[in-house]
Amino acid sequence: MRGLLARACVASGLVCALAGCSSPGDGALSGSLSGFYNFGYESVRARLYASEFSVEYTRSDGEVPVRLTLNRRIELRQGATIELPVGGTISGRSNDTDIPMMGDGVVDLELFDFDEGSRVKGEFAANFLVGGDTATLTGEFDATLEVVEQVEGYPYDFGMDAGDVGDATASGDAGDM
């Protein structure tokens, strides 16, 4: 019985690897930018702020070498394709060095929802200006959404005095835009 279970686990892992399965917290970065900039990371997180959505490739020391930021004024939805820099940008800092200036790029949101704890999955490709050259960075992300600030019309209460939007007892210091 144990041998059969072990073979089934190995087989399902192989199928998942071949099919491109991932789980929240997974990500990948690659490209010629690595010759100019250290974009190594340890984990991926997705955060929704009042004015933006970001995917952050982070290190254990808190450093964020790559941060994909999408403006909330554009339509963020599952299946969306977003042009960079029109709808967002890529920034970051690694070992006291800023990521080079981004030229252009594109982001594809495969899974996206505004709800706390929802799964966000997608990929991006971008070009960066390095001296007279252009360097590339491609990335994949699969993370659980963390809502960092209360957004008008968003029904979650993040603090004792935050109140829910529309709640007459709200202190007025949260959720107002």
* Tens-digit pLDDT string for the chain (177 aa): 434 333 333 333 333 333 344 445 689 999 999 999 999 999 999 999 988 999 999 999 999 999 999 999 998 999 999 999 999 999 999 999 999 999 999 999 999 999 999 999 999 999 999 999 999 999 999 999 999 965 466 554 443 333 333 334 333 444 443
Number of domains in the chain: 1
Q: Is residue 158 in some structural domain?
A: no
- Parent domain of 90: 23-147
Is residue 125 included in any domain, yes or no? yes
Provide the 3-class DSSP secondary structure of residue 98.
strand
Rounded distance between C-alpha atoms, residue 147 and residue 131, angstroms:
37
* pLDDT value of residue 40: 96
Give me the residues paired with residue 144 across strands.
Answer: 119
Q: Kindly state the tokens that stand for 79.
A: 């299946």
Mean pLDDT of the chain, nearest integer: 79
pLDDT of residue 129: 96
Quick one: DSSP state of residue 134?
A: E
pTM listed for this prediction: 0.72
Distance of CA 152 to the CA centre of its chain: 21
Which two structure tokens, joined as six digits, stand for 63? Answer: 């450093």
Predicted confidence at residue 26, as pLDDT, reads: 84
Amino acid, res. 52: E
For residue 140, give both structure tokens. Answer: 């994949």
Q: Residue 169: what pLDDT?
A: 38
Residue 109 within a domain: yes
Which residue stretches of the chain are H helix?
2-19
Output the pLDDT for position 122: 98
- Let me know if residue 172 belongs to a domain: no
Q: Containing H/E element for 108?
A: strand 101-111
Question: Do 86 and 23 touch, CB atoms closer than 8 A?
Answer: no
* Residue among 23, 91, 94, 90 nearest 62 (CA): 94
